[in-house]
Amino acid sequence: MFTVKAWSKGRARSGILQIVGGSSCEIAIETPALLLSTRKGLPAFISPDLLPSLPSPDSHILQFSPLHFLEGLTPETMANCGGLHQMLGLHEYGFAAVPRDSIVCLPECNGTNKIGASFETPCGRLLIKSLEYMKMISSMKPNLWATLADEVPAWVSIKRNKNSVDRTVRWLDECIALSSTGGAVFGAIVGGSSVEERRRCAQEVAKRNVSGYWLGGFGLGESMDERSPLLNAVTCMGSDLRIIYPSKSRGRFVALGFQVLQGIASGVDLFDSTYIYDLTIGGFALIFPFDQIERNVSDSQPSAIGGDQTKINLKATVYRKDISPIVDGCSCYACQNHTKAYINHLLNVHEMLAQILLEIHNTHHYLGFFRAIRQAIKEGKFEQFRQQFIENRRHQIFAASLAHQAGKSCTLC
Amino acid sequence: ICVFCLLHQILGRFNRARAAQLTLPHFVCQTPLFMPVGTQVPGCKCCIVTVAEAFQNIVNVCNGPLRYPLRPLRNTETAVTRVNFLHTAEAGVTGTIKGLTTSQLEEIGCQIILGNTYHLALRPTSELIDELGGLHKFMNWPRALLTDSGGFQMVSLLHLADITEKGVTFQSPVDGKPMLLTPEESIQIQNRIGADIIMALDDVVRTTITGPRIEEAMYRTLRWIDRCIEAHKRPNEQNLFGIVQGGLDPVLRDICVRGLVDRNLPGYAIGGLSGGEDKDSFWRVVAQCTASLPEDKPRYVMGVGYPLDIVVCSALGADMYDCVYPTRTARFGTALIPEGVLKLKHRAMADDTRPIDPTCMCMVCKNYTRAYIHCLVTKDAMGSQLLSYHNLYYMMKLSNDLHSSIIEGQFPDGELYAYMYPLQSISEVIFIWLTLHFPLPAGLYVASYRKCSQRVMFPSGSAMPWRSLESISLPAVLNSQHPNIE
Ligand SMILES: [Zn+2]
Ligand SMILES: [Zn+2]
């Protein structure tokens, strides 16, 4: 189901994830890959008839939270519909179920107890037990699913952190025991910011019959520097495992680009990110060139107003009369059909079409970034790619850290 | 002398109903046709929502993916504030409006879309649209466009609007300063926007108003049409339509029709309707106007969009309609189906694994169950996107069916429309209507249509706004071959 095809120096690797969609059609996704985040199985704004306009097969793996469906669809109805593929009519797509999402179903560690994990959801705070969760999973029939986790922020006590590892491992056993579908199990790994706990959890999970790992509890207060050893602690075992890594970094591309690159450098294969959603809601469009290696370092672009060299804010008045596409030469539906001036207008009048177009472009662009990364890995140039990426943004990072020291808001946040 | 850039060929007739081909600068359209409101926040008509609906809307928005600040609605707020507030709420829903791309609109079969002049003039301004090459280019819409005069929206959106001989005076929603929209200015703005069809500025009064104001408005509309014709700078590229006013008074309507026909305009609109008058008054006005308007010019009934109204008005010889109803109602979770409407928010939909309309061939009905749409509507943006898609598809299918059944001489055919309206009442009403003209025979039909506003809700969540209580309770209807109402 998963094979590593190429390794760069270090742990970064590129591979192929083969999954069987609805009506037993085969989907091969090259990794490292981005899982497109969805609400109830569909992207926030891209309707199903527009999905095929996104790069294929890169866009054919979708992440969803089973908890979304608590808002009005019972597991029985879901089962009657024949599972998520059937229900959404998306047979050529793979679905990855993760209990939480980073937008509306957030883990709530204070409510979590030994019986189940607690989440803040649109239907209020809910305690989800393994039994309920597995009922949802078996009715939805995702291609892969992460087990229930007790995610805790970096600042909890050692005891609470230990506890979270014990619970997560116990829920893993319960989930596996209750599992009745063919979907691949991704064992959740937690452990907060403690390298020892992370390692202990990873070792426990690895003893079980899992197809991959889901790295939970990141983006909950640990620093960027802390993250590498934490990642390395859990990605050191086994070469044939796929790992979903939720990266939650609101509106900070440079940081997120680093996060993705940092994750890949540690051997992470799949990324679950709300970045596109956050950009889209903020009126931002990605513009950075992703053929980083080819570009001359001294080729510095003039700083775009209302954004940085990574993204632009289309709400800015400077785009009022700009009749060029978001990115010249971009082949996405938005750039092929509409101008910055039109999107600027749509944002001004609160037309949802703005979000539709931005989500299409941003998804397209971000998938391009992942393709460039895979290419770099295959050519054995991943480290170079990563260094270049950091180099191109050094002055920004510097400015950002100065702004942080002065207690001001920076362009990255 | 008017030069026309519009060709109107009648392809078929059935009694007074006509099917035609309307050749506009950007597209060749088939009538009867329905025009969705295509750009901008929805027009005034959708701002006239009930307070409860709007409040519900805001609550939904706050729970939804896009979080907007909630402003409390106090009873003490004046009508004006309330309207502005509702409008803000509408805009805040961002687009729970329609959220369809232009390629989807083409795919659905939309031929003309309507741009709101009032909104476009505020943002991004007509000057900018002109500078960027016109509205077609700005929004990348290759087919036909129609813009309204902007007057109606001011009058109904801004209660402070004041109409004088010069034009419509209103308070700018931007800075609160008094502003004046003259007929000349309305045409200039529309000339800059560049739609295929532009509308004359008229003096709008509610049909429920009576007395000398109606007469004043009608005569003013006639005086303004000359100023509009005079100001129109692009008659070779844009068709100026005049608007028939005169309230519910047949004499005033007649004077207005004659006055406009004398000006030999490319097309005529019947205005001032769908403002709360009862159905028989509404249909009577349409029947009277269509009877005296020239055969070879298109007739546009403004603000009409309920499926039943479109069928009846088409039978009476009207050709064009516009309404925000299909997309607005989608936002509140309502789907248009042949039997009436389906409330997707209703609990009964939660485990219904059938498509919204099993007979519908649209992308949504081909792929999604009522249960799935149920868990999306009013919560996720996608819910209104999918429902708007279906509802517009339904309206396009309806106008298409009307077009072909008139050509085939079947309109209003018992089979086709008995299926749509099980009582066969529509064809019967139209038949009687056409035979006797007006006044509409009193009794059964009028009585049943007076109940149009009455909503009948089934435990299954279906509601039938355009059928009478009596007809629904008939076992014959429930047990007929039509798709189950449940
Ligand atoms: Zn693009
Ligand atoms: Zn449909």
Q: What is the ipTM of this complex?
A: 0.92
Asked if pLDDT for residue B410 goes beyond 60, the answer is yes
Distance CA A185, CA B38 (A): 46
Strand segments, DSSP code E, in B125-227 are: 144-147, 162-163, 168-171, 178-181, 197-199
Question: Is A201 inside any structural domain?
Answer: yes
Chain A 68-127, residues with CB within 8 Å of chain B CB atoms: 69, 71-74, 76-77, 80-81, 87-89, 103-104, 122
Q: What is the DSSP pairing of strand A106-107 with strand A116-121?
A: antiparallel
pLDDT tens for each residue of B287-312: 899 999 999 999 999 988 888 788 88
Question: Is A181 inside any structural domain?
Answer: yes
Asked about B148 being catalytic, the answer comes back as yes
For residue A216, name the pLDDT band (cuts at 50, 70, 90).
confident
pLDDT tens for each residue of B353-409: 999 999 999 999 999 999 999 999 988 999 999 999 999 999 999 999 889 888 887
Contacts of A328 (CB under 8 A, 6+ apart): none
Q: What is the mean pLDDT of residues B11-17?
A: 86
Statement to judge: residues A153 and A245 lie in one domain: yes
What CATH number should be reported for the domain holding residue A85?
Answer: 3.20.20.105
Instruction: Return the number of CB contacts < 8 Å for A and B.
Output: 140
Q: What's the pLDDT at B274?
A: 72
Question: Is A302 inside any structural domain?
Answer: no
Statement to judge: residues A85 and A140 lie in one domain: yes
For residue B74, name the pLDDT band (cuts at 50, 70, 90).
very low
Distance CA B126, CA B117 (A): 8
From A74-83, B60-69, B232-241, B431-440, the region with the lowest mean pLDDT = B60-69
Question: Is A89 inside any structural domain?
Answer: yes
Asked if pLDDT for residue A234 goes beyond 60, the answer is yes
Q: What's the pLDDT at B485?
A: 26
Ligand closest in space to the Cα of B359:
2
Q: Are A46 and B104 in contact (CB under 8 A)?
A: no
| Tokens read off for A198 | 């992370």
For residue A242, name the pLDDT band (cuts at 50, 70, 90).
low
Statement to judge: residues A7 and A132 lie in one domain: yes
Q: What is the mean pLDDT of residues B185-208?
A: 92
- Whether residue A337 and residue B139 make contact (CB cut-off 8 A), yes or no, is no
Which among B124, B138, B350 has CB closest to A72? B350
Statement to judge: residues A126 and A203 lie in one domain: yes
Residues in the annotated binding site of A: 330, 332, 335, 361
- Whether residue A350 and residue B41 make contact (CB cut-off 8 A), yes or no, is yes
3-state secondary structure of B320: strand
Query: Average pLDDT over chain A, rounded to whole?
Result: 86
**Bigger pLDDT: B427 or B235?**
B235
Segment of A69-78, A331-340, B322-331 carrying the highest mean pLDDT: A331-340
Asked about B322 being catalytic, the answer comes back as yes
Statement to judge: residues A216 and A346 lie in one domain: no
| Helix, strand, coil abundance in chain B, percent, nearest 5 | 45, 15, 40
Statement to judge: residues A260 and A339 lie in one domain: no
What share of chain A in percent tops pLDDT 70?
Answer: 87
Statement to judge: residues A208 and A357 lie in one domain: no
Domain containing A318 equals: 284-293+308-409
Question: Is A301 inside any structural domain?
Answer: no
What share of chain A in percent tops pLDDT 90?
Answer: 59
The number of distinct structural domains making up chain A is 2
For residue A114, name the pLDDT band (cuts at 50, 70, 90).
very high
Chain A 344-373, residues with CB within 8 Å of chain B CB atoms: 344-345, 348-357
From A208-217, B390-399, B449-458, the region with the lowest mean pLDDT = B449-458
Statement to judge: residues A132 and A256 lie in one domain: yes
Question: Is A385 inside any structural domain?
Answer: yes
Chain B 189-218, residues with CB within 8 Å of chain A CB atoms: none
- Whether residue A40 and residue B97 make contact (CB cut-off 8 A), yes or no, is no
pLDDT tens for each residue of A253-305: 455 677 888 889 988 899 988 889 989 999 999 998 876 444 443 344 444 44
Distance CA B164, CA B467 (A): 41
- Whether residue A351 and residue B363 make contact (CB cut-off 8 A), yes or no, is no
pLDDT tens for each residue of A162-205: 999 999 999 999 999 999 877 899 999 999 889 999 999 999 99
Ligand closest in space to the Cα of A365:
1
3-state secondary structure of A105: coil
Question: Is A191 inside any structural domain?
Answer: yes
What residues form DSSP beta bridges with B13? B18
Contacts of B233 (CB under 8 A, 6+ apart): B187, B188, B191
Strand order in the sheet with B178-181: B162-163, B168-171, B178-181
Q: What's the pLDDT at B416?
A: 38
Asked if pLDDT for residue B218 goes beyond 60, the answer is yes
Distance CA B236, CA A95 (A): 55
What share of chain B in percent tops pLDDT 90?
Answer: 47
Statement to judge: residues A351 and A387 lie in one domain: yes
Question: Is A62 inside any structural domain?
Answer: yes
For residue A224, name the pLDDT band (cuts at 50, 70, 90).
confident
Statement to judge: residues A271 and A289 lie in one domain: no
- Whether residue B372 and residue A40 make contact (CB cut-off 8 A), yes or no, is yes
Q: How far is CA B48 from the centre of its chain?
A: 14
Q: What's the pLDDT at B149?
A: 92
For residue A59, name the pLDDT band (cuts at 50, 70, 90).
very high
Statement to judge: residues A203 and A69 lie in one domain: yes
Neighbours of A80 (CB within 10 A): 17
Statement to judge: residues A249 and A361 lie in one domain: no
Q: What's the pLDDT at A397?
A: 64
Q: How far is CA B78 from the centre of its chain?
A: 28
Distance CA A70, CA A75 (A): 9
